Amino acid sequence: MPTQWKRSPEQLHKTYIANTEAFYRAAGRGLAEQMDEFCTACALQLFSRSASLTEEHAQALNALYSKGRPQPSWLLWALTSAVGESGAFLPPLFFWTLTDQDARRGTDCSRVFVRMLTNILLCLAAVDDDVTYAEAEYITECADKLSALCDSAGVKKGKPGLRAADFVTSAQPSFLEKNPPQAAGQTGSGQAKPTQAAAGQAAPEKPDLDELMAELDGLVGLEQVKKDVKSMMNLVKVRQLRQQAGLPVPPLSLHMVFMGNPGTGKTTVARLLGGLYAAIGALKKGQLVEVDRSGLVAGYVGQTAIKTQEVIASALGGVLFIDEAYSLASGGENDFGREAIETVLKAMEDHRDELVVIVAGYTGPMEKFLASNPGLESRFNKYIFFSDYNGEELNAIFHLQCKKNGYELDEAAEAYSRQFFDELYEHRDENFGNGRDVRNQFEDMVVRQANRVAAMQSPSKEDLARFTKEDFSEPEEAEG
């Protein structure tokens, strides 16, 4: 059944501008960058609840930019990958500041923001002329969480917003329910986070242990990491058998420290661990909730604990993954990051049987972070080190990206690929991004290949799917 909310990309952009400009007049244009980033993140999470992903969704994402801001250039393949990595809704940092200002001034800008976001999300949900139950649930969740923050801050009541459930047109399963995320050449950002089930559907089945173990074994490299994960699994299994046999069991902490450079698969392994723990009954759900400092720390006294507690609540039954955790202890004694640390430590104690916390980051800063608080050292006693990928492994990750997205290499490109990634590894510096560098290289090659093929008179299907050696670098770079 068609929906009244469907907009063309041009109309959607006008709707976005009309809503955001009204908000900026009240809250300030300095929020434009944060607003665009936040709405894009919401769109990705929303699209994971859509029945399918089409070019219309990519075009809609490209319409989300404020006046004076650069227009995005999302492609469908990149959108599909990003949707698989989207997570749970978290209020933006600026919203906490906004509610505090409203409470002090007697204004209701934050209430206006909630109504504005609901309108934008309904338009985004309807880009395929369909609003599913799962999409409506997500929109309602966003509005409810933001409104609850308004209530807790004491913001005056405003007129009620639209009810997303009133505009549902179908109950089709969501995109992620029909296309569960798969590990493919882990790039360090391959987390898969839980989606809400459509109304009336049963709870998701327990993860399949054999499938998850096969997925772990299929990851490129990380041999020592795989051994460490399997050892943890064996430890948990034997502990459960001892309990069943009436034997005493020593205390066991499942919390971990992941050390290593970016792009080495830490998030992917954390996601798999959550599923594996759920498969053997150590966790109830096994979902992964990934945050960094900005996802835990607020800008005013007393708000950080509330914000952190909300994140922890969404992670109960699964894994809370804190990336670049050392940044929480990087400030002085009065830094709000320390409040987040204390809140997490308390949750680890209060929810010891239903929450696994994994902190991750560079090796040196993580060692200093753990030494900054006695509670951290006592609760994190399992360390897993993620080494850099070598040239052969980087090349293997690149080929997985190509296969996943329907590209192949001609003979010259195939030979050069090995040389290219060997040199990338040999000349790496402190900014080396491992799998992230591979992903960036692949995305750059997609653009170069598109520019090359677009100049052809009548490109064949093989031309559309083939990388050549010249696609590895810009023409002027290749000549040099």
Q: In degrees rounded to 5, what are phi and psi of residue 12?
A: -65, -40
Alpha-carbon distance of 445 to 447, in angstroms, equals 5
pLDDT score, position 257: 93
| Concatenated DSSP letters of 451-470 | HHHHTSSS--HHHHHEE-GG
pLDDT at site 338? 84
pLDDT of 141 strictly over 80: yes
Contacts of 186 (CB under 8 A, 6+ apart): 219, 220, 222, 265, 267, 268, 269, 397, 435
Cα separation, 274 vs 283, in Å, equals 8
Mean pLDDT of 208-235: 86
Torsion of CA 453, 454, 456, 460, to 10 degrees: 60
pLDDT at 187: 39
CA distance 210 to 235: 17
**Which residue, 306, 299, 293, 298, is CA-closest to 343?**
306
**5-26, pLDDT tens digit by residue?**
778 889 889 888 988 887 787 7
Question: Over 70: is that where the pLDDT of 190 sits?
Answer: no
Q: Which helix (H) or strand (E) holds 355?
A: strand 355-361
The answer to whether 34 and 130 have CB atoms below 8 angstroms apart is no
Report whether pLDDT(54) > 90.
no
Q: What is the mean pLDDT of residues 68-93?
A: 80
pLDDT for res 269 = 92
Lowest mean pLDDT among 139-153, 192-206, 268-282: 192-206
Closest CA to 395 of 438, 449, 443, 448: 438
Which of 45, 31, 5 has its CA nearest to residue 95? 31
Distance from C-alpha of 466 to C-alpha of 75, rounded to nearest angstrom: 18
Domains of the chain: 9-177 (no CATH), 209-385 (3.40.50.300), 391-479 (1.10.8.60)
Task: Please name the helix (run of DSSP H) or strand (run of DSSP E) that holds residue 357, with its range, or none.
Answer: strand 355-361
**How many residues in the chain?**
480
In this prediction, residues 205-216 reach a mean pLDDT of 78
Contact call for residues 472 and 413 (beta carbons, < 8 A): yes
Residue 456 class from Cβ within 10 Å (0-12 exposed, 13-18 middle, 19+ buried)?
exposed
Q: What is the mean pLDDT of the chain?
A: 82
Q: pTM of the full predicted structure? A: 0.55
Give residue 215's pLDDT band: very low, low, confident or very high (50, 70, 90).
confident
Contacts by residues 36-44 (CB-CB < 8 Å, ≥ 24 positions apart): 36/64, 36/65, 36/66, 36/69, 38/92, 39/64, 39/117, 39/120, 40/64, 40/72, 41/86, 42/89, 42/117, 42/121, 42/124, 42/142, 43/121, 43/124, 44/79, 44/82, 44/83, 44/85, 44/86
DSSP state of 293: H
Residue that is written with structure tokens 């090359």 in the block? 452
Q: CA Rg, the chain, in Å?
A: 24
User: Tens of pLDDT along 248-277?
Assistant: 877 778 899 999 888 888 888 999 999 888
Stretch 66-85: mean pLDDT: 83
Complete DSSP assignment for 221-282: S-HHHHHHHHHHHHHHHHHHHHHHTT---------EEEEE-TTSSHHHHHHHHHHHHHHTTS
Question: For the chain, what percent of residues have pLDDT higher than 90?
Answer: 10
**Per-residue pLDDT averaged across 70-96, rounded?**
80
Instruction: State the average pLDDT over residues 279-305.
Output: 82
- For residue range 418-427, what is the model confidence (pLDDT) as tens digits? 999 999 888 8
- DSSP letter at 286? -
Report the pLDDT averaged over residues 40-51.
87
360 - beta bridge partners?
258, 323
Give the Cα-Cα-Cα angle 189, 75, 72 (nearest 5 degrees).
Answer: 85
Per-residue pLDDT, 134:
84
User: By mean pLDDT, which of 330-339, 344-353, 368-377 is the weakest?
Assistant: 330-339
End-to-end CA distance of the chain: 57
SS3 of 356, please? Answer: strand
At 193, the pLDDT band (50, 70, 90 cuts) reads very low
pLDDT exceeds 60 at position 172 = no
- The partner residues of 385 in beta bridges, in order of sequence, read 259
In eight-state DSSP terms, residue 188 is S
